[in-house]
C-alpha cells in the first residue's frame, strides 16, 4: 500500500512533457532569461580586463570560452526554472502565461528590460541594506551598533 501511494505521489510530482515544454518557454521569456546574458557579459568583460598578461588573441580566446560556459550555464538555469514552473503550475496556467509572455507588448517589455534595470540602478544609487538596517536597529535599541573605523 505504501509503495502505491509513493508511486502516485511521484507520478503527480512529475510534470508532463507538455508542461515541461511550456515551462521552458515561460522561463525563456522571463526575467531570469533577460538578466543572465547581461550579468554574464559584465562578468566576462571584468574577467578579461583582469587578465593584463594575456595577448589580444588570448583575451579573445578567454572571452569566447567565457561566452560558451555562460551559454551552457544559462541553458541549465533556464531548464531548471522551466521544470520548476512545470511542477508548480497547471497546464492551463502555463498555456495562458506563455501566451501572455509571447505577446507583442511582453516582447517590447523584455527588450526594454536591460535599459530599465540600468536606469533604475543608477537612479537608486548606492543602497546599503545591511548598513541601513543595523543603523536603524542601533538607533532604536542601542544594540548591534556598527563599529566605527
What does 80-137 look like in DSSP terms, one character per residue? HHHHHHHHHS-HHHHHHHHHHHTSHHHHHHHHHHHHHHHHHHHHH----HHHHHHHHH
Task: Give the structural domain span for 68.
Answer: 2-102
Q: Is residue 117 part of a domain?
A: no
pLDDT at residue number 52: 94
Residue 12: is its pLDDT beyond 60? Answer: no
Taking CA atoms, 55 is separated from 41, 44, 52, 64, 87, in Å, by 20, 16, 8, 14, 48
Q: Is residue 90 part of a domain?
A: yes
Q: Is residue 40 part of a domain?
A: yes
Average pLDDT in the 86-104 region? 98
Q: How confident is the model at residue 84 (pLDDT cuts 50, 70, 90)?
A: very high
Q: How many domains does the chain have?
A: 1
Q: What residues have CB less than 8 Å from 43, skipping those under 6 apart?
A: 66, 70
Amino acid at each position: 500500500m505504501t509503495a502505491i501511494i509513493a508511486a502516485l505521489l511521484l507520478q503527480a510530482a512529475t510534470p508532463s512533457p507538455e508542461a515541461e515544454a511550456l515551462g521552458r518557454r515561460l522561463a525563456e521569456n522571463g526575467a531570469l532569461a533577460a538578466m543572465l546574458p547581461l550579468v554574464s557579459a559584465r562578468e566576462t568583460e571584468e574577467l578579461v580586463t583582469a587578465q593584463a598578461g594575456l595577448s589580444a588573441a588570448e583575451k579573445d580566446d578567454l572571452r569566447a570560452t567565457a561566452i560558451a560556459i555562460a551559454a551552457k550555464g544559462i541553458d541549465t538555469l533556464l531548464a531548471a526554472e522551466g521544470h520548476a514552473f512545470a511542477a508548480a503550475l497547471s497546464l492551463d496556467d502555463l498555456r495562458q502565461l506563455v501566451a501572455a509572455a509571447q505577446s507583442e507588448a511582453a516582447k517590447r517589455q523584455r527588450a526594454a528590460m536591460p535599459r530599465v534595470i540600468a536606469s533604475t540602478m543608477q537612479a537608486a544609487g548606492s543602497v546599503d541594506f545591511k548598513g541601513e538596517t543595523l543603523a536603524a536597529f542601533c538607533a532604536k535599541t542601542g544594540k548591534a551598533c556598527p563599529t566605527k573605523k
